[in-house]
């Protein structure tokens, strides 16, 4: 069939451009494929064979997420090759807290009009994230929706499916008074709180993405686009030989709203805020934005992207194991009995 100008193209949707995009990214996607992938991209769905004979009672664990208004920063910087890492990270870090191994990932990319170069860079980042998370990118959806999105804008969503043994899943039910809390360093702001971040930097302070900030040792854009750290490899490896009672991914809601999600009734997480180095970007945001400490700990990760609640007698070994797997771990707190009248608590010394 000879392709000619069409009314659909005139309306803002170019089918040929979408097909060209698939051709561009085929090799990028294929490079993420691991054992189990049965199809190439371009079909109606992605197929993945489950053949994990080592699991006695396999359970599938799924998660979906996006990267929020961090996309606006990528647009301001005209840098789109790392935002895909953030997309994968936000999904796989949620799956790993159950002790599940990510299997495969799908993405959704929507824009007013498909920019092949931008979309390809985004997928390149997604592929990088999938490699870090040891999972396969097996498909996705690209949608052009003129009139719904402004020219130059795009949105992202990600979907991951992982697998774990039902008898070995981590849900926090084993957490006991006396357990210790190990925090794993974040790489920066990760992908939460960017509406507040952008308000402080760009509206209140009038900063530009190419402005250098002495405290950061880099530009505003470079700091704000640091990719979210992916904790999959280290945690999966450590779970093979060590016991972890609970894992917390510090995302939207910070310490205050995320930690209670795994605490059994009657438990309180006591956090020593002086036990790890708070990253300069958070100190800068708090001071320049006149943000209270309580709000900072309910909005941002403050330098701790993942927490592990562990038996007291395993602390030294686990600290060593996390360092051996490339993490920066800190002993940041302890599980104690909740105060009377409280079912689950988060107590941060000197703050709340």
Pair 126, 84: CB distance under 8 Å: yes
Distance CA 273, CA 281 (A): 16
Specify the residue for token string 């990319």.
109
Predicted confidence at residue 6, as pLDDT, reads: 76
Average pLDDT for residues 348-352, to the nearest whole number? 85
Angle at 250 between CA 346 and CA 31, to 5 degrees: 160
Please tell me the predicted confidence (pLDDT) of residue 28: 87
Cβ contact 325:238 at 8 Å: yes
What's the confidence (pLDDT) of residue 52?
Answer: 60
CA distances from 256 to 15, 29, 229, 271 (A): 46, 37, 20, 11
- The pLDDT value given to residue 3: 52
CA distances 87 to 82, 105, 123, 282, Å, are 9, 10, 10, 22
pTM for the predicted model, two decimal places: 0.93
Phi, psi of 9, deg, nearest 5: -65, -45
Q: Do residues 21 and 110 lie in contact, with contact meaning Cβ atoms separated by under 8 Å?
A: no
CB neighbourhood size of 48 (10 A)? 19
Q: What is the pLDDT of residues 263-317, one digit of tens each?
A: 999 999 999 999 999 999 999 999 999 999 999 999 999 999 999 999 999 999 9
Whole-number pLDDT of residue 4: 53
Say which residue the tokens 């700091």 belong to: 223
Average pLDDT, the chain: 93
Q: Tell me the C-alpha distance between 40 and 159, whole Å.
A: 17
Mean pLDDT calculated for residue range 245-267: 96
What value, to the nearest 5°, has the Cα angle with vertex 39 and ends 62 and 156? Answer: 45
């Amino acid at each position: 069939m000879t392709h000619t100008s069409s009314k659909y193209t005139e309306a803002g949707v170019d089918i040929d451009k979408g097909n060209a995009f698939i051709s561009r990214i085929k090799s990028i996607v294929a490079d993420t494929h691991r054992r189990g992938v049965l199809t190439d991209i371009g079909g109606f769905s992605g197929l993945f064979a489950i053949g994990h004979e080592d699991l006695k009672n396999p359970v599938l664990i799924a998660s979906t997420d996006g990267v929020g208004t961090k996309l606006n920063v990528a647009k301001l910087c005209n840098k789109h090759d790392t935002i895909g890492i953030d997309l994968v990270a936000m999904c796989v870090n949620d799956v790993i807290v159950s002790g599940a191994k990510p299997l495969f990932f799908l993405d959704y990319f929507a824009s007013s009009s498909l920019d092949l170069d931008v979309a390809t860079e985004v997928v390149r980042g997604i592929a990088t994230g999938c490699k870090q998370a040891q999972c396969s990118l097996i498909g996705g959806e690209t949608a052009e929706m003129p009139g719904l999105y402004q020219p130059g804008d795009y949105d992202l969503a990600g979907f991951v499916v992982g697998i774990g043994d039902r008898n070995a899943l981590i849900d926090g039910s084993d957490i006991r008074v006396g357990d210790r809390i190990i925090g794993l360093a974040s790489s920066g702001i990760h992908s939460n709180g960017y509406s507040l971040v952008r308000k402080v930097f760009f509206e209140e302070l009038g900063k530009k993405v190419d402005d250098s900030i002495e405290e950061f040792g880099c530009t505003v854009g470079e700091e704000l686009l640091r990719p979210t750290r992916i904790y999959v490899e280290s945690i999966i490896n450590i779970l093979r030989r060590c016991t972890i009672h609970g894992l917390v991914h510090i995302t939207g809601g910070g310490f205050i709203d995320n930690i209670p999600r795994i605490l059994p009734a009657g438990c309180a997480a006591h956090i020593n805020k002086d036990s790890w180095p708070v990253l300069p970007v958070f100190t800068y945001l708090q001071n320049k934005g006149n943000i209270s400490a309580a709000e900072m700990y309910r909005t941002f990760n403050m330098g701790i992207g993942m927490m592990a609640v562990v038996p007291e007698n395993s602390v030294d070994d686990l600290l060593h194991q996390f360092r051996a797997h490339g993490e920066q771990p800190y002993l940041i707190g302890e599980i104690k009995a909740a105060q009377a009248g409280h079912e689950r608590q988060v107590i941060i010394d000197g703050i709340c």
